[in-house]
Amino acid sequence: MQAFEATNYYFEQAARLLDLTENIRTLLVTPDREVRVEVPIELDSGRIGNFIGYRVQHDNSRGPYKGGLRYHPAVDQDEARSLASLMTWKTAVVDLPFGGAKGGINCDPGKLSRGELERLTRKFIEKIHDTIGPHKDIPAPDMGTDAQVMAWIMNEYAKYAGFAPACVTGKPVEFHGSAGREAATGFGLAIVTREMLARLQRTVAGTTFAIQGYGNVGSHTARFLAQMGGKIVGVSDAYGAVVNREGIDIADLDRHVAVSHKIAGFKGGDTTTNESLLTMAVDVLIPAALGGIFDREMAQAVQASLIVEAANGPTWPDGDEVFVTRGIPVVPDVLANAGGVVVSYFEWVQNLQHFRWPLEQIQREEEKRLVEAFRDICDLAQRRSVSLRTAAFMKAISRVGRAKVLGGI
Ligand code: GLU
């Protein structure tokens, strides 16, 4: 099964429970536009490097297309399609006036110099500038891209359209970005986890967590959960994992990662494998890396009693079925990691108004939106006796479907 098929499986599961016409169902599944461009740049060696870039615009019934750009060797059309569709549902789950898109460049950013990354980004925008814009399609960071990449995008886009900081979100705070955007996904994750634990009559304090992936999302999630009194007993990245039953000192780990750029070599715990981290005995497991982690076998091996999806698409449908059968609740990606796009929305609004909000306001508003969305979806899940994922998709599909019907074809 491919990623887009998996997303559509979840869509169908929820759509079946809704009163949707076949026509609307077909319209909601098919992406509006798929752009694939060749992005040739001169490498530092003088050779020409030829890369392929994608932008899939899935749906804009509720507002401009919105979603990240990923720089990773696994980026392809199918992945972009699946992630674009997830963005449509995610922005609808948290009721933002956006649609869904996703894109990226097939490359290994770790092997490119800063100059090469800049040339690649600018060339990509040169190729797609007419398909994006503040009221058309607004990119943001995702795996392998960061605030610096967004700054280049804004600057490159301005060459074609003039000053328009709202054309991209996740920019540096000193360059039209928003306070709190970088940590927003991790902050939101911690809030949603706290709410879910409260539903299970538990608190973050006294709960143990394992986090797979220690990039922007994983590391901020760890920090916020630790601040709330949670015990992070395991973390991993692409190169290895570390466990400590007494709780990992996250500030210490962050100092280590700032210098060595990986977890390996960290002295505050015992080394283990990525695989054993996923199956360790822990209360909450948070996948915060690539998609497609939990298939049937892996879902059977998991020992955690709650999964909170920080990554996009970490669970295959057969793994999801196992979690449902085993009674392990899963807080789905479209809700759990929506904090990032919520603050992207605040950044966009600030850019359009040429006004700045303080961090306290951003975090307060982010928390409010996420808590509301979480409660809505939990209540719907209980009322209809469905999983949180199905409830989230139901909520999102009815919002997008309604907008489609009201707008007309
Ligand atoms: N890439 C992030 C996501 O998957 C953020 C998207 C955005 O802010 O537009 O949700």
Entry field: residues in the chain:
409
Nearest to 164 by CA among 356, 345, 348: 348
d(CA 196, CA 76): 34
- Give the CA distances from residue 270 to residues 221, 233, 242, 273, 279, in Å, rounded to whole numbers and listed in that order: 21, 10, 5, 10, 16
Answer yes or no: is the C-beta of 184 below 6 A from any ligand 1 atom. Answer: no
Give the Å distance between the CA of 141 and the centre of ligand 1.
6
Tell whether ligand 1 has an atom less than 6 A from the beta carbon of residue 66: yes
Confirm whether 231 is a catalytic residue.
no
Give the pLDDT of residue 270: 97
Distance (Å) from CA 305 to ligand 1 centroid: 27
From 60, 66, 69, 87, the mutation candidate for ligand 1 (largest count of ligand atoms within 8 A of CB) is: 87
Q: Do domains 29-165 and 184-328 have the same CATH topology?
A: yes
Domain 184-328 maps to which CATH number in 3.30.70.270, 3.90.1150.10, 3.30.70.20, 3.40.50.720?
Answer: 3.40.50.720
Q: What global pTM score does this model have?
A: 0.97
CATH number for the domain formed by residue range(s) 29-165: 3.40.50.10860
> What are the sequence ranges of the domains in the chain?
29-165, 184-328
Please give the chain's pLDDT, 409 residues, in tens: 889 999 999 999 999 999 888 888 899 999 999 999 999 999 999 999 999 999 999 999 999 999 999 999 999 999 999 999 999 999 999 999 999 999 999 999 999 999 999 999 999 999 999 999 999 999 999 999 999 999 999 999 999 999 999 999 999 999 999 999 999 999 999 999 999 999 999 999 999 999 999 999 999 999 999 999 999 999 999 999 999 999 999 999 999 999 999 999 999 999 999 999 999 999 999 999 999 999 999 999 999 999 999 999 999 999 999 999 999 999 999 999 999 999 999 999 999 999 999 999 999 999 999 999 999 999 999 999 999 999 999 999 999 999 999 998 7
One of 102, 171, 231, 395 is an active-site residue; which one? 102
Choose which residue among 55, 79, 142 to substitute to test ligand 1 binding: the one with the highest number of ligand atoms within 8 A of its C-beta. 142
Asked whether 70 lines ligand 1 (CB < 6 A), one says no
For residue 20, the model assigns a pLDDT of 86
The answer to whether the CB of 366 is under 6 A from ligand 1 is no
Q: Which pLDDT value is given to residue 85?
A: 97
Does the C-beta of 67 come closer than 6 Å to ligand 1?
yes
Ligand 1 in reach of 234 Cβ (< 6 A): no
Mutation test residue for ligand 1: of 341, 347, 348, 366, the one with most atoms within 8 Å of CB: 341
pLDDT score, position 21:
86
169 lines ligand 1 (CB under 6 A): yes
Distance 338 CA to ligand 1 centre (A): 7
